[in-house]
């Protein structure tokens, strides 16, 4: 997430249980009956609050204060304050007893709590050592959590997942990724995990809403259609799940969020190309010169005439531009013009 989208935070608001209660219980009116009714309502709300999940605004501030921490702009830290959103996030991934889940950036552990209560084994990767310590301490007695103090984009995910699967004696079903990630690493995370269909069955992420829409909804012949759309559809079946208003985060970002599910394809179901590296190089080259026809932007691969002939042979115009090609079109074109 860009720093400009974060709220500048100098001090924490004071945490007070009485203030929390008074937030719902306004001063009574002069009528005795109204005073009594107000007292009953306040008592009922207080009782409900005592049974509600502790992962709310005040508990989050308390957890951060316990480590002397402030949300850090450099890490894109925005903490979820609504436990119902975490329930929906886990529900979107269909988390069940015995599932193995990789969580990115657990923070104070609000989503971790939901995942563990669903019966999952959780591998949490947290770059902030203070938050890693906090979540490790919070769930130290669970026996189902392993915390790594690492940067997820530099983490050796495959080796860690293999180790976790072996230690949990889990069934052969694949693991899942469920995470509320910093918006500024969304593309890195997607490029890292979507090609791991041999390990994970599904990746469910809470992303910036604009990014979520662009990844799932962007169609041909639109400015939003980009190489990442080809990449996403090559490795997965994306689905927009639901919107998450910005008011659910602390600090509050300047944009709303949304949850997207990527059902990963197993390697056997990837489109057939001679080389994925060569294929995506071709796609990226095509979009580097987006306003140009493919016969010009791909001339470093073969001649303009050869590209024109390849396009017409797959039912496209010789003057086609990259935003007019589907994933299947790019696969066919690559296979015809790719050099050994």
Residue ranges of the annotated binding site are: 78, 80, 105, 126, 151, 180
Residue 15: pLDDT above 60? no
Q: Nearest-5° angle of CA 71, CA 76, CA 77?
A: 35
pLDDT digits (tens, 9 = 90+) for 33-82: 443 444 434 434 433 333 344 566 556 666 666 666 665 655 556 788 88
Question: What pLDDT, on a 0 to 100 scale, did the predictor assign at position 218?
Answer: 82
At 292 the pLDDT is 86
Cβ atoms < 10 Å from Cβ of 29 = 11
Query: Nearest 5 degrees, angle CA 79-CA 82-CA 86?
Result: 85
Look at 91 and 165; give whichever has higher pLDDT. 91
pLDDT of residue 163: 81
pLDDT at 271 over 70: yes
Instruction: Measure the CA–CA gap between 164 and 167, rounded to whole angstroms.
Output: 5
Provide the pLDDT confidence category of residue 281 given band limits of 50, 70 and 90. very high
pLDDT of residue 55: 62
Rounded CA separation 179/6 (Å):
19
Q: pLDDT digit string (tens) for 140-156?
A: 999 999 999 999 999 99
pLDDT tens per residue, range 201-259: 999 999 999 999 999 988 888 888 999 999 999 999 999 999 999 999 878 888 999 99
Annotated binding-site positions for S-adenosyl-L-methionine: 78, 80, 105, 126, 151, 180
pLDDT above 90 as % of the chain? 62
Token pair listed for 322: 């990259």
Q: For residue 51, what pLDDT is reported?
A: 34
Return mean pLDDT, the chain. Answer: 82
CA distance 173 to 95: 12
DSSP 266: P
Percent helix, strand, coil in the chain (nearest 5)?
50, 15, 35
Sign, CA torsion 184/187/192/198: positive
For residue range 172-217, what is the model confidence (pLDDT) as tens digits?
Answer: 578 999 999 988 999 999 999 999 999 999 999 999 999 999 999 8
- pTM tops 0.85: no
Q: Is the pLDDT of residue 22 over 50?
A: no
The 10s digit of each residue's pLDDT in 290-317 is 778 999 999 999 999 999 999 999 999 9
Looking from the CA of 17 toward its CB, the CA atoms found within 13 Å total 5
> Rounded to whole angstroms, how far apart are CA atoms 211 and 259?
10
pLDDT of 172 reads 59
Q: Is the pLDDT of residue 275 over 90?
A: yes
Angle between helices 227-235 and 186-193 (to 10 degrees): 40
> DSSP assignment, residue 12?
P
């Amino acid at each position: 997430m860009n720093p400009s989208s974060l709220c500048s935070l100098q001090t924490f608001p004071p945490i007070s249980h009485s203030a929390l209660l008074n937030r719902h219980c306004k001063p009574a009116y002069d009528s005795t009956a109204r005073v009594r009714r107000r007292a009953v309502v306040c008592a009922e709300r207080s009782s409900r609050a005592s049974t509600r999940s502790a992962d709310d605004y005040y508990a989050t501030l308390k957890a951060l204060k316990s480590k002397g921490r402030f949300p850090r702009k450099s890490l894109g830290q925005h903490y979820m304050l609504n436990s119902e959103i975490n329930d929906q996030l886990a529900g979107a991934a269909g988390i069940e007893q015995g599932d193995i889940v990789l969580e990115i950036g657990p923070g104070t552990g609000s989503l971790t709590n939901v995942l563990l209560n669903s019966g999952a084994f959780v591998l949490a990767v947290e770059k902030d050592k203070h938050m890693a310590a906090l979540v490790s301490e919070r769930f130290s007695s669970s026996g189902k959590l392993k915390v790594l103090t690492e940067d997820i984009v530099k983490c050796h995910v495959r080796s860690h997942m293999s180790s976790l699967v072996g230690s949990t004696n889990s069934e052969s079903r694949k693991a899942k990724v469920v995470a509320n990630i910093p918006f500024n690493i969304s593309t890195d995370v997607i490029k890292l995990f979507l090609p791991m269909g041999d390990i994970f069955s599904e990746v469910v992420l809470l992303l910036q809403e604009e990014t979520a829409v662009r990844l799932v909804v962007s169609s041909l012949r639109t400015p939003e259609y980009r190489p990442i759309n080809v990449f996403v559809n090559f490795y997965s079946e994306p689905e927009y799940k639901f919107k998450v208003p910005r008011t659910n985060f602390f600090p509050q970002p300047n944009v709303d969020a949304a949850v997207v599910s990527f059902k990963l394809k197993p390697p056997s179901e990837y489109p057939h190309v001679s080389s994925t590296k060569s294929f995506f190089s071709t796609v990226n080259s095509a979009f580097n010169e987006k306003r140009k026809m493919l016969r010009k932007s791909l001339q470093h691969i073969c001649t303009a005439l050869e590209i024109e002939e390849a396009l017409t042979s797959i039912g496209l115009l010789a003057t086609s531009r990259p935003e007019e090609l589907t994933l299947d079109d790019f696969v066919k074109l690559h296979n015809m013009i790719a050099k050994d």
